[in-house]
Amino acid sequence: MQDLYLNWIDGAWAEGGAGRMTVENPGTGQALAEQALADAADVDRAVTAARRVHESGVLTALRPVERGRMVRAMGAWLLDHHEDLARLLTLEQGKALWEARNEIRNAARYFEYYGNQAETLEGRQIPLGAGYMDFTVLEPYGVSAQIIPWNFPMEIAARSIAAGIATGNACVVKTSEMTPLTSHAFGLAAKAAGLPPGAVNVLTGWGHEAGAALASHPGVNQIVFTGSVGTGSAIAQAAARNIVPCVLELGGKSAAIVHADADLDAFLGDVRRGIFMNAGQICSAMSRIVVHRAVHDDLVERIAGLARSIDVGPGIDRDAPLKGMGAMASGPQLDRALALTARAEAEGARLVTGGRRLNIPGHFMDPTVLAGVDPASEIGQTEVFGPVVSVMAFEDEAEAIAIANGTDYGLVAGVFTRDLDRATRAAGRLRAGQVFVNEWFAGGVETPFGGYGKSGYGREKGREALWNYVQTKNVAIRLR
């Protein structure tokens, strides 16, 4: 680990015009390292470098298989440095070390997947009758601006960089100021893979300065953002002024419907991954459990027992998969989760377990279970982004669907039942971009991901994500 981390602009490390900031270790509350902060001028330099790469045609002139090999090589570099990156990620973000290792592997997998997809994108021939030849060509937008959150800084950046480069775009990545350190790896990986200077640029800066400058820059052709609804709305407005398309992934308040015939023992494993992994700081977290009244009390006690069994403390010391839970990413994030929990209890929800700050250095919250939650209450509607699960009872299938669909979000949902007909009916009626049946987080990098409603628009992951990075050109030829 270094004492100072810089920005990666046009193939070289660079200081930032906005000075430096101290990055905190949320597992101890102590300073970890310094990070150079980019300002609007640094953003302009990065966009200019990316624009030069695009306009030179150096990426699009390659055969797609050659571009794909470079993308795959970036993933291979991450795997070669897997352990060091995982430890750094744990120290700056707070998650358990076993989770950080998984994140680095998943980041590498995106580069593998999209590297393999690079040569599969093809246009089509359109018959217009005798005397005409008509066909379509898929072309990159040019400069892809990618604004990355702090909860999965490596994995989320990887999925957009890999798709962007595979389709021939040059990328300017703005990391979160809370978790900037590990992201320096993408500059090193791009250089090792032989990508030209300026093809991948990685900046850290304040959202109101560097983020706003990037979202509104006239040299940007496409924007990918993951984060809050408020910030996503501001980015969409800035992009609209330049008529620039966006992909927005803005979180959720996702529900798992548990029927009386569900395998409750297996479901506990889904709860462990769905809400207590990464201290609940997951856009697609299982933040609501909507359970049939016949098994409600039994399941609440099982979930409470699971929550009490989780070993909470500094992530760097928690290496056993599915056992320990690390810190929340910051003090304000912890304070917000605690406040939402306290207000829920005051409004009538029953605090079954947790709901408190651990009395140790760092930003730790006990895994928390709330029962008797009113679906229309603040806790029933608001994304906590913490290790807090709300349990709600239902009587029949229609009520369960209504509760699950009863928020402004629509990112993911789940159905747990042995009845395939019931699960299929629910999948068709749930208002969510992805529906899990009998396993939360089923799928992988191959499956499209994105939301309905205020969870955003556009898709990431899977082949569907590639269409966000290309535009269709039609060529019509009159034959003589």
Task: Identify whether the C-beta of residue 469 lies closer than 8 Å to the C-beta of residue 257.
Answer: no
177 an active-site residue? no
Residue 283 annotated in active site: yes
Q: Are 110 and 445 in contact (CB under 8 A)?
A: yes
Q: What's the CA gap between 151 and 249, in Å, rounded?
A: 13
Residues sharing a CB contact under 8 Å with residue 28, sequence separation 6 or more, in sequence order: 314, 361, 362
Residue 202, token pair as written in the block? 């990685």
Q: Which of 103, 155, 283, 397 is catalytic?
A: 283
Helix 184-192 and helix 64-80, axial crossing angle in degrees, nearest 10: 130
Given the residues 92, 112, 155, 249, the one annotated as active site: 249
HEC string of the chain? CCCEECEEECCEEECCCCCEEEEEECCCCEEEEEEECCCHHHHHHHHHHHHHHHHHCCCCCCCHHHHHHHHHHHHHHHHHCHHHHHHHHHHHHCCCHHHHHHHHHHHHHHHHHHHHHHHHCCCCECCCCCCEEEEEEEEECCEEEEECCCCCHHHHHHHHHHHHHHCCCEEEEEECCCCCCCCHHHHHHHHHCCCCCCCEEEEECCHHHHHHHHHCCCCCCEEEEECCHHHHHHHHHHHHHCCCCEEEECCCCCEEEECCCCCHHHHHHHHHHHHCHHHHCCCCCCCEEEEEHHHHHHHHHHHHHHHHHCEECCHHHCCCCCCEECCCCCHHHHHHHHHHHHHHHHCCCEEEECCCECCCCCCCECCEEEECCCCCCHHHHCCCCCCEEEEEEECCHHHHHHHHCCCCCCCEEEEECCCHHHHHHHHHHCCCCEEEECCCCCCCCCCCECCCHHHEECCECCHHHHHHHEEEEEEEEECC
Active site residues: 249, 283
